Amino acid sequence: MKACVIGAGVGGLATASLLVKNGWSVDVYEKEELLGGRALSCKIQEGYENLLKKFEMKIVATSPDLQQIYDLAADYKVDLGFHLIGGGKKGACVRLLRQFGIELNFVGSRLGFIGDKIDYPILKAKDKFAILPRILQLLFTRKSKIEEMKKISMEEMIKKYGRGKLKLILELFPRLITTVNDLSRISAGETFFAQRELLGGDPVVYPYGGLNSIAEAMAEYIEKNGGRIYLGQKVNKIIIEDGVAKGIKIKRKEKEYDVIIFTLPIQHIFTIADEKEFPEEWVEYVKNLKPTGSLISYHALNKLNKNLLNKSFVFIERNVDFEGNDVVGMIDFKMSHESSVTPRGKYLVQSYAICTPEEAKKRKKAMELKKIIEKNLEKLIPDYEKHMEWNIHAAIWHLDGVAKTIDNEKPDVVTPIKNLYIAGDCVASKGVGVNCAADSANLIAERLI
C-alpha cells in the first residue's frame, strides 16, 4: 500500500513512522524547508518573523529591536515558542518514540507555583496523598460514567470538590492542559485523566538539543525504513473523485496514492480539498472548530540562580479582563547550554500566558499578557531586568489545533471521503499538543494496519 502524508509536523512524521514500520510505502510532503511544523526549531535571524507568520503567530514586542536581536541571538536555537511536552516518559510522544527504538534525552522537572510565595513543587507528597483517593475513584469509574463526566465542566467539578490545595490544582492544571482559561468550557472527564500524568515524576519535559530533535529522529527512522520525505514541496490539491481520494497535485504534477493523510490544521482542509466533495454538515462543523491561543515570551538572561535551572513554574492571575476571568501561564527554565540550545553562560526563559485566539489577535490584550508574564517572572527573579540581554513576545492564535472543550468536539481521524484521513493535534486522540499529534498516528494505524 502506498500512502502520502501531507505535512512533516509531529502528527505527519509519527504517522509515516508507524506506516513504514508496518511495511507501507510512504511519501511525506512538507511545504517548508524545515522539519517539525509547529514543533520546529530555528535560528532567530532574517526571515524569523516571516516564519512565525506562516504558523499564525505575530511578534507584538521585542527589546531591543529584532535587527539587533539577530546579532545578540546568533548562537541560540529556539523553537517557534514555548514548548514543553506533558506527561514526561508517560506521555504519548515519548512512548511512541520508544516503539521506534528512539531514545532521546529529556530535561524534566516538576512544577512550582508562583503565589504569595514560591512553592516548589506545588504538589508535595502529602498533597498527592490527599488527591489520590479522588484519582483512584476516577480510575475505577465505569466507561459510561466517564462519558457522562465528559459533559460536566471543571467549573461544576470545582464547586463540588474544590477545597484547599485540591481547588488550586483543579483551577490550574485543566487550564494548562487545554490552553483554555474558561473553566466552564473545559470538560472534567477529559482533563482528570490527563492530570494523572502530572502526578508522576517529571510532568513536563524538554528534549536536549531542542524540540526539533523529535522530528529529526522520526525523519531518520522513516528514511531508514524506506520512506521518503520531500521538503519544500507544497501540496496544492487533494484529488477527490466520486467521494474517493485518489492522489495529490504538486505544482502541475499529479501523483496517485492508495491513502492520503492530511495533517495541516483541520480548519485549512478546504484550501487544498474541494469542499463541494464533502457533506455540508461536515464542512460546517470543521469550519467552526476553534483552536487555542497564547502569548509566548522569551527572555534571554546572562545570569540565573542555579535553583531555578531546569524547573518550571505556573501562575494564575485572577480577576482580569480575559475570557474565564483568570489567566493561567507557565515560566520555564529548561533552555540553557546544558540542553544545548544557548551559548555557555546564557539562559533562555520561555513563558506563556493563555488567552483565546481572538484575544491573541488584539495587540492591547497581548501587551496585557506580557505584563502578567513579566510580573510573575519578577516574583521569581526580582532583578531579572538587570541580567536581560533581549526579549521577544509573540502572540499565537493556532497553538493547539482544536481546543479540547465541551463545546468543540474534536473530529475522528476518518473523514467522509474514502481513503482520506486526518492526523495531528486536531483529532480526538489522547492528550493535547505534541502528545495529541503523536497519538493520532496510533489511531490511523488502528484503521489502516
Ligand X SMILES: Cc1cc2nc3c(=O)[nH]c(=O)nc-3n(C[C@H](O)[C@H](O)[C@H](O)COP(=O)(O)OP(=O)(O)OC[C@H]3O[C@@H](n4cnc5c(N)ncnc54)[C@H](O)[C@@H]3O)c2cc1C
- Residues from 268 through 307 that contact ligand X (CB under 6 A): 272, 296
**Interface of this chain with ligand X, residues 413 to 432, rule: CB under 6 A:** 424-425
**Would you count residue 357 as binding ligand X (CB under 6 A)?**
no
Stretch that binds ligand X, among 2-10, 118-126, 128-136, 403-411 (CB under 6 A): 2-10
Binding of ligand X by 84 (CB under 6 A): yes
Residue closer to ligand X (CB basis): 155 or 439: 439
Q: Which of 124, 234, 287, 375 is the binder for ligand X (CB under 6 A)?
A: 234
Which of 202, 277, 317, 400 touches ligand X by CB under 6 A?
A: 400
Should residue 80 be labelled a site residue for ligand X when binding is judged by CB under 6 A? yes
Q: Which residues contact 294 (CB under 8 A, 6 or more apart)?
A: 81, 82, 179, 329, 352, 353, 354, 355, 360, 369, 395, 396, 399
Minimum distance, C-beta of residue 136 to ligand X, in the bound complex (Å): 26
CB of residue 354 to ligand X, shortest distance in Å: 11
Residue 371, C-alpha cell as written in the block: 505584563
Residue 433 engages ligand X in binding (rule: CB under 6 A): yes
Asked if 366 touches ligand X (CB under 6 A), the answer is no
82 binds ligand X (CB under 6 A): yes
Does 263 interact with ligand X (rule: CB under 6 A)? Answer: yes
Tell me the per-residue interface mask from 9 to 48 with ligand X, x by CB under 6 A, - otherwise.
xxxx----------------xxxx----xxx---------
7 binds ligand X (CB under 6 A): yes
Convert residues 202-231 into a mask of x (bound to ligand X by CB under 6 A) and - (unbound): ------------------------------
Is residue 81 at the binding interface for ligand X, with CB under 6 A as the rule? yes
Parallel/antiparallel/unpaired status of strands 25-30 and 228-231: parallel
Residue 135 CB, nearest approach to ligand X (Å): 22
Smallest separation (angstroms) from ligand X to the CB of 50: 13
Task: Give the CA dihedral 74, 76, 82, 87, nearest 10 degrees.
Answer: 160
* Interface with ligand X, residue 334, by CB under 6 A: no
Residues that bind ligand X (CB under 6 A): 6-12, 29-32, 37-39, 55, 80-86, 234-235, 263-264, 272, 296, 396, 399-401, 424-425, 433-435, 437
